[in-house]
Amino acid sequence: MSHQPRHRPPSAAPGATVAPDAEAPAAALLAAASGSGEALPAAVQDVVARDQPTLLAVIAALGRQPNVAAAKALQALEEAPGISKEARKAARRELHRLRSAGIRLEAPAVVARVTAPPTPAQVVEAWATPYDGSGSRALWLFIEHPWRGGALLALVLNDQKGIIAVDSGGVNRRRFRQLLEQARADTPDQPWVPLPPDYARFLVHEALALNSFSGTPVPAGLEPFREALRPPEQPYERALVYEQISPLEARFDPRALAESPALFERPEVRSWFFPPSQVAPYLDELEQLRSSRVLLPGASREEREVGIFRRAVQELFTPQVRHALKRRLEETAYILAYQQQLVDARRALAAALSLQDEAAAPPPTSSLLLPFSQAASITSNPFATALVGRSLERAAVLRAKSPTEGEAASETLWLPGEETGLDEVEPWLPE
């Protein structure tokens, strides 16, 4: 005599059919629920992982089985993590139908546990601008969390102070792209370029090191995103541009460094100056020398002007300024290379490498935060002397326009403001 199974696979009610893909998982759930219950979590997890139509068909098939095992399976599905809202409601409805038919559960069903580790928040998209005249740039990150959705994190990074401003808001990827296009339209002469997410995280941690070094407080708005901004697994030993242009190619190009002052004609570099307050003492000396009618014995007036200028270059380019400008030029070289402006990219890279302090003996392509040490022969650097010269000229023009005028306003980096609607969305705040 053949042994009849205690629970047969679900059979279709009159006028209804069971989807072929649902028969096997429904039978497995019934078998798991009819025993000790130890196999039920795995069976539930297998069903939840299937497509939505199959999942709903399994739930419907279980609802047509008037027995305790079907009720246990439906209760486990209703309470299973990761199940869709529609499927959870369907399981609750079928379970209620069985209870109405007199099927009662004697013990709580075993709830399936998801054993996969939780997915952390991730930076999935990153965009950056060139630097403005104050040494600051915008860095926008789209951060995605597995169940909290997306967020825009907008940072302002300064090459000497670190992170100086933060703005954020909950957005989906489509809205992020809309805000990015709006920002690009508002700054047509300043290109936004994409960055690898890991490199963007490297830039954030490089900036945080500058916050610590300079004593600049880290904006409080960064704290909720610490998980997504964790250091990259493979730290960057050099700037991203060196993956496109060899440092030897830029260093030994006889024209690249000599032609580097031409970079000031580009919109990405045009706004770079020393602040008028920093060059004011040297401008005072030059104006006093030129207005004086007394010719002192010794060096000529022209020689004294050269001496003042060389001293300005030497004193303005402190080790910290040299390092900051080197990193600024490396990042600018990447932006230029991304735009296929390779001649100017090599010029920027040659200028950056020329600011490397040979006495400190760091690796020639290193972009890490190295201890600052005093450099030599900066007064013969074409890019450095051009920067000081144009800063003195600008300060003189501003002084002539208004002797009492203070610092000229620096360019405003575009951050999401009230007009973007970020103030109207729910903040994205990880627990």
Query: What is the Cα–Cα distance from 394 to 405, expressed in whole angstroms?
Result: 13
Closest to 82 in 3D by CA, of 115, 107, 105: 115
Closest to 420 in 3D by CA, of 231, 243, 167, 59: 167
What DSSP string runs through 86-103?
A: HHHHHHHHHHHHHHHTT-
Q: Tell me what pLDDT residue 298 has.
A: 61
Q: Which regions of the chain are under pLDDT 50? A: 1-16, 109-110, 112, 114-116, 358-376, 405-412, 417-431
User: Which pair of structure tokens corresponds to residue 55?
Assistant: 């999942």
pLDDT in tens, 334-363: 999 999 999 999 999 999 999 985 333 333
CB neighbour class for 305 (10 Å; exposed up to 12, middle 13-18, buried from 19): middle
- What lies within 8 Å, CB to CB, of 38 at 6+ separation is 110
Q: Tell me what pLDDT residue 51 has.
A: 85
Q: Enter the pTM of the model.
A: 0.66
Query: What is the Cα–Cα distance from 116 to 1, expressed in whole angstroms?
Result: 45
Closest to 329 in 3D by CA, of 364, 313, 353: 353
Closest to 241 in 3D by CA, of 130, 127, 330: 330
Q: Tell me what pLDDT residue 106 has.
A: 61
Q: Tell me what pLDDT residue 293 has.
A: 64
Q: Tell me what pLDDT residue 176 has.
A: 94
Q: Which residues of 186-197 are buried (b: 16+ CB within 10 A; e: fewer)?
A: ebeebbbbebeb
Query: What is the Cα–Cα distance from 40 to 17, expressed in whole angstroms?
Result: 25
Q: Tell me what pLDDT residue 405 has.
A: 46
Closest to 132 in 3D by CA, of 372, 341, 332, 416: 332
Contact indicator for 198, 224 with CB cutoff of 8 Å: no
